[in-house]
A and B are shown apart, each in its own frame.
Chain A
Amino acid sequence: MAQTKKPFEGRGWTRRGVLGAGLAAIPAGAALTLIVRPAEATPETMKDAIKKVVGDAEIRKGRVKLDLPPLSENGNSVACAVTVESPMSAADHVKAIHLFNEKNPQPNVISVHLGPRAGKARIDTRIRLSDTQTVTAIAQMSDGSFWSASANVIVTLGACLEDNPT
């Protein structure tokens, strides 16, 4: 299995890992950003966050395309694109696109609001993923319907990391 790491946490694991291995500590002067362990978002909290957006409406699979690399070199920056099939006319368009994650401390990533003037319902962005996990995109249409797509990303662990120097 690929090593995973958590960009929401600091670099404290290096030192702890070393000590855990019975080796000497890192020289003094190395400032560490330690870790807060907030409750992780879970598939449950993600469901709640989604419910806040869609209410009791049904979410259908389809019309949404979520592009994420299957493997990311660093969870601090994962390229992500969402495209929604829509004529983007006054009568039939995408009103909003919401992105959610399962395992970061908080389930929301970004919500964008657009309309027929967008011409094309697509956004490209970069997101943080604390770990290997599933990301879900939900599109809200002008007729009130919701559509979704999900994708899984494996986040690999960098080799020579650091404690924070400042």
Chain B
Amino acid sequence: MRAARGPVLAAAFLFAAGAAPAAEVPLPERRSGYDFMGPQTRGMQDDDMANPGMLSVLDGAAAWERKTGAAGKACADCHRDARQSMKGVAARYPRFDEATGRPIDLEGRIARCRTERQQAPPLARESRELVALAVYVAHQSRGLPVEDMVEKDARLRPFLEAGRSQFERRQGQLDLSCAQCHNDNWGKSLAGNPVPQGHPTGYPIYRLEWQSVGSLQRRLRNCLIGMRAESYEFGAPEYVDLTLYLMWRARGMKIETPGVRP
């Protein structure tokens, strides 16, 4: 049975191959990955006492208050109460970053405050503390609509287009594009699992498969691996461009952090 899984999965992936170029999901038809989940998993996300992602929110809240680094400062020393200062912030990322002349994502922004403002050793991507801080910050935007950052800042436009072309480009051993699954075949079943539209609104999420919280980049990496395509170092510009495109594609949809996904 196990030996058969690879080929079975590969064959299942091929359902979309050969389809015509994908059209974007019309705005009113967009649905969060939440809508494609079973009642058990939805129930976990709905109830803060049952959502394991909330443990990470608590973790992040503790890290927010903790003084660290040569500056001897906590996030809270500069940003005060996250419930006010961080409200809506996650809905505006990735943003254009003057220092590097390209977009920066929320995790990247937090990691920068860590090194530059707290003067502490860098936090690795996907480390428990960075993910917890990102969950905590993003949670302050739960229920708020994702903003159209590209409309507000034209400097983001070329990076949006780079993200879009990644999304639409066929890649990997299975010669598939993200769009073939997430624009053309959402709602269909892939090896018994519904294919969602691929929106980034719940991130960082608690994924049952991971048995932990993880970032959008980790999730994107899972899809790239599924496509047998090249994946990137966490934090790579390719992921940030893709994130920018996904957030733009989800403009107006509500932030759910911490989402729960199978």
Contact = CB atoms under 8 A, between A and B. Distances in A.
B38 A73 contact: yes
Interface stretch (A24-32, A93-101, A105-113): A24-32
Which of A71, A162, A166: most chain B Cβ within 10 A?
Answer: A162
A24 B222 CA distance: 17
Nearest to B12: A159
How many B residues touch the partner, as a band?
35 or more
A157 interface: yes
B226 A159 contact: yes
Interface string B1-32: 11101111110100000000000000000000
Contacts, number: 104
Contacts of A76: 208-209, 211
A30 B191 contact: no
Contacts of A27: 230-231
A26 B209 contact: no
B3 A163 contact: no
Contacts of A23: 10, 173, 228
Interface residues on A, range: 35 or more
B87 interface: no
A162 B231 CA distance: 11
Contacts of B40: 69, 72-73, 78-79
A152 B12 CA distance: 27
A126 B191 CA distance: 24
Nearest to A160: B226
A17 B209 contact: no
Contacts of A26: 225, 228
A144 B118 CA distance: 62
A29 B221 CA distance: 12
B126 interface: yes
Contact of B228 (A24, A73, A157, A162): A24
B6 A18 contact: yes
A20 B190 contact: no
A77 to B, nearest CB: 5
A163 B7 CA distance: 17
B209 A158 contact: yes
Contacts of B84: none
Nearest to B209: A158
Nearest to B210: A162
Interface of B: 1-3, 5-10, 12, 37-38, 40-41, 43-44, 126, 173, 190-193, 195, 208-211, 218, 221-223, 225-226, 228, 230-231, 233-234, 262
24 contacts: A3-B5, A13-B5, A16-B3, A17-B6, A18-B10, A18-B228, A20-B7, A23-B173, A26-B225, A26-B228, A30-B231, A73-B37, A73-B208, A73-B262, A74-B208, A76-B209, A78-B40, A157-B5, A159-B190, A161-B226, A162-B209, A162-B225, A165-B126, A165-B218
Q: Across the A-B interface, give the 5 residue pairs with the lowest CB-CB distance, nearest first.
A: A17-B6, A160-B226, A74-B208, A73-B262, A159-B193
